Amino acid sequence: TIITKDIDIAAKNVDVIITQLKGKIIKAESLENKKILIAEIGSKKLQELIEKLRIIGRIKEKEPVLETGECRKELDCDIVRVTIILSL
């Protein structure tokens, strides 16, 4: 979970970061005072993603933003799915 003052601006920034790292947002869900983004990104880019996300806001847990899942068979197995939660 990333604590931020403006969830909408943070979500746009996350989208830019994911795109810069050659990933893509595959799902976005808005809840009360929270936005959940699910993205696919190369596993070798995960550390860089975490570092860039720290610029957006305070990360609540030690490594909270990543929930790596199974790689998709039609993609290179170096692709992982991550969940990013933005909260006020």
Q: What is the pLDDT of residues 37-78, one digit of tens each?
A: 999 898 888 889 988 998 898 887 655 444 445 554 444 457
Q: What is the pLDDT of residues 24-36, one digit of tens each?
A: 999 999 988 899 9
Determine the pLDDT at residue 82.
Answer: 83
Q: Which helix (H) or strand (E) holds 83?
A: strand 79-87
Determine the pLDDT at residue 52.
Answer: 92
- Residue located via tokens 């880019």: 45
Q: Which residue has the higher pLDDT, 21 or 79?
A: 21
| pTM score of the predicted model | 0.78
Instruction: Give the residue from 16, 15, 41, 17 showing the smallest Cα distance to 28.
Output: 15
User: What's the mean pLDDT in 7-31?
Assistant: 93
Q: Which amino acid is at 71?
A: C
Would you say 52 and 23 are in contact if contact means Cβ atoms under 8 Å apart? no
Instruction: Kindly write down the DSSP assignment for every residue of 25-64, as one continuous string.
Output: EEEEEEETTEEEEEEEEEGGGHHHHHHHHHHHSEESSSS-
